[in-house]
A and B are shown apart, each in its own frame.
Chain A
Amino acid sequence: MQEFFTFVKEHADKLLEQTLTHIGLTFISLLLALLIGVPLGILISRRTRLASSVLGIAGILQTVPSVALLGFLIPLLGIGIGPALVALFLYALLPIIRNTYVGITEVSLLVKEAARGVGMTENQILTKVELPLALPVIFAGVRTATVINVGVATLAAYVAAGGLGEFIFSGIALSNVSMMLAGAIPAALLAVSFDFGLARLQQLSVKKLRISALAFLLLVPVLALSGFLARGNEKLIAGFAHEFYGRSDGYPGLQKTYGLDVRPRLLDQNLMYEAIHRKQVDIISGYSTDGRINAYDLLVLDDNRHAFPPYDAAPVVRQATLNRYPDLEPTLNLLAGKLTDSVMTALNYQADYQKKSPEQIANQFLLTTGLSKKPAPGERPNTIVMGSKVFTEQYILAEIYRQLIEGHTKLRVASRTGLGGTQICFDALRTGSIDFYPEYTGTGLLVVLQPSAATLKNLPMQPKPVYDFVQKQFQAKYQLTWLKPLGFNNSYSLMMRQDQARQLHIHSIENLVSYLKK
Chain B
Amino acid sequence: MIKIQHLTKQFASHAAVDNVSLHVARGETLVLLGTSGCGKTTTLKMINRLIEPTSGSIQVDGIDVQQQAGPELRRRIGYVIQDGGLFPHYTVAEAIATVPNLLGWEKDRVQARTHELITKLQLPETALNRYPVELSGGQRQRVGLARALATQPPVVLMDEPFGALDPFTRRHVRRELFGLNELKETTVVLVTHDVSEAIELADRIALMDKGQIVQIGSPDDLLNRPVNDFVREFLDEKPIRLATGPAH
- Interface SS majority for chain B: helix
Q: Across the interface, which residues of A come within 8 angstroms of B81, CB to CB?
A: 110, 113-114, 117
Give CA–CA (A119, B70) in the complex, Å.
Answer: 7
The answer to whether B74 touches A118 (Cβ under 8 A) is: yes
CB distance B88 to A120 under 8 Å?
no
Are B72 and A119 interface neighbours, CB within 8 A?
yes
User: For A113, what are the chain B residues with a Cβ–Cβ distance below 8 Å?
Assistant: 50, 81, 85
Partner of A118, one of B83, B88, B99, B131: B99
A129 to B50, CA, bound (A): 17
A110 & B71 in contact (Cβ 8 Å cutoff): no
| Contact (Cβ within 8 A) A116 B74 | yes
Q: Is the Cβ of B79 less than 8 Å from the Cβ of A115?
A: no
Of residues B75, B86, B98, B147, which shows the largest number of chain A Cβ atoms within 10 Å of its Cβ? B98
A117 touches B71 (CB 8 A): no
B112-126: contact bitstring with A at CB < 8 Å (1 yes, 0 no)? 000000000000000
The answer to whether the Cβ of B48 comes within 8 Å of any Cβ in the partner chain is: yes
Residues of B within 8 A of A121 (CB): 71
| Mask: chain B, 62-86; 1 = CB below 8 Å from A; 0 = not | 0000000011111110010111011
* Residues in A whose Cβ lies below 8 Å from that of B240: none
B175 within 8 A of A: no
Q: Which residue of A lies closest to B157 (CB)?
A: A117
Instruction: Confirm or deny: A124 has a beta carbon within 8 angstroms of a beta carbon on chain B.
Output: yes
- Measured CB to CB, the closest approach of chain A to B44, in angstroms, equals 10
CB distance from B150 to the nearest CB of A (A): 9
**A133 contacts partner chain B, Cβ-Cβ < 8 Å:** yes
Q: How far apart are B153's CB and chain A's nearest CB, in angstroms?
A: 10
A114 contacts B88, CB within 8 Å?
no
Cβ-closest chain A residue relative to B78: A118
CB-based contact B79/A114 at 8 Å: yes
Taking a contact as CB atoms closer than 8 A, the residue among B75, B82, B131 that contacts A119 in the complex is B75
- Among B48, B71, B75, B85, the residue within 8 A (CB) of A111 is B85
Contact B88 A119 (CB under 8 A): no
Let me know if B87 is at the binding interface, CB within 8 A.
yes
A133 contacts B89, C-beta separation under 8 Å: yes
Q: How far is the CB of A121 from chain B (nearest CB, A)?
A: 5
In the complex, A129→B98 CA distance in Å? 11
Bound Cα distance A129, B94 (Å): 12
Chain B residues lying within 8 Å of A141, measured Cβ to Cβ, are none
State how many residues of chain A have any CB contact under 8 Å with chain B. 17
Contacts of B74 in A (CB 8 A): 116-119
Are B83 and A119 touching (Cβ within 8 A)? no
Taking a contact as CB atoms under 8 Å apart, the answer to whether A117 and B79 are in contact is yes
Q: What is the CA–CA distance of A115 and B102 in the complex, to the nearest angstrom?
A: 11
Residue A171 lies at the interface, judged by CB distance under 8 Å to chain B: no
Write out the residue numbers on chain A whose beta carbons fall within 8 Å of the beta carbon of B82: 110
Q: Is the CB of A206 within 8 A of B89?
A: yes
Q: Which residues of A contact B99 (CB under 8 A)?
A: 118-119
Q: A114-B81, A117-B48 given as contacts; is B102 within 8 A of A133 (CB)?
A: no
Q: CA–CA, A114 to B157, complex, Å? A: 12
Q: Which residue of A lies closest to B82 (CB)?
A: A110
Q: How far is the CA of A118 from the CA of B79 in the complex (A)?
A: 6
A24 touches B (CB below 8 Å) = no
B147: chain A residues within 8 A (beta carbon): 118
In whole Å, how far is B84's beta carbon from the nearest beta carbon of chain A? 8
B167-200 contacts to A, CB under 8 A, are none
Q: How far is the CB of B83 from chain A (nearest CB, A)?
A: 7
* Residue interface bits B86-115, CB-to-A below 8 A is 1, else 0: 111100000000110010000000000000
Q: When the two chains form their complex, are residues A116 and B72 in contact, meaning their CB atoms are under 8 A apart?
A: no
Q: For the complex formed, measure the closest distance between the CB of A212 and the CB atoms of chain B, giving whole angstroms.
A: 15
Chain B residue at smallest Cβ distance from A123: B71
- A114, B85: Cβ atoms under 8 Å? yes
* CB of A132 closer than 8 Å to a CB of B: yes
Q: Which residues of A contact B71 (CB under 8 A)?
A: 119-121, 124
Bound-state Cα–Cα, A367 to B138, Å: 93
Give the complex CA separation of A121 and B71 in angstroms: 6
Interface hub of B50, B102, B157 (most chain A Cβ within 10 A): B102
| Residues of A contacting B73 in the complex (Cβ-Cβ under 8 angstroms) | 119
List A contacts of B131 (CB < 8 A). 206
Are A129 and B48 within 8 A (Cβ)? no
CA distance A500 to B248 in the complex (A): 104
* Nearest CB in chain B to that of A111: its residue: B87
Q: Which residues of A contact B83 (CB under 8 A)?
A: 110
B74 to chain A, nearest CB (A): 4
Residues of chain A within 8 A of B102, CB atoms compared: 118-120, 124
The answer on a CB contact under 8 Å between B50 and A133 is: no
Contact for B87 among A115, A116, A119, A207, CB less than 8 A = A115
Give Cα A129–Cα B85 distance, bound, in whole angstroms.
12
Residues of A within 8 A of B (CB): 110-111, 113-121, 124, 129, 132-133, 206-207
Residues of B near any A CB (own CB < 8 A)? 48, 50, 70-76, 79, 81-83, 85-89, 98-99, 102, 131, 147-148, 157
A-B contact pairs, 12 of them (CB 8 A): A110-B83, A111-B86, A113-B81, A113-B85, A117-B79, A118-B147, A119-B71, A119-B75, A119-B99, A119-B102, A132-B89, A133-B88
Known: A114-B79, A117-B81; 18 extra A-B contacts, CB below 8 A, are: A110-B82, A110-B83, A113-B50, A114-B81, A114-B85, A116-B70, A117-B48, A117-B157, A118-B102, A119-B71, A119-B73, A121-B71, A129-B87, A133-B88, A133-B89, A206-B89, A206-B131, A207-B89
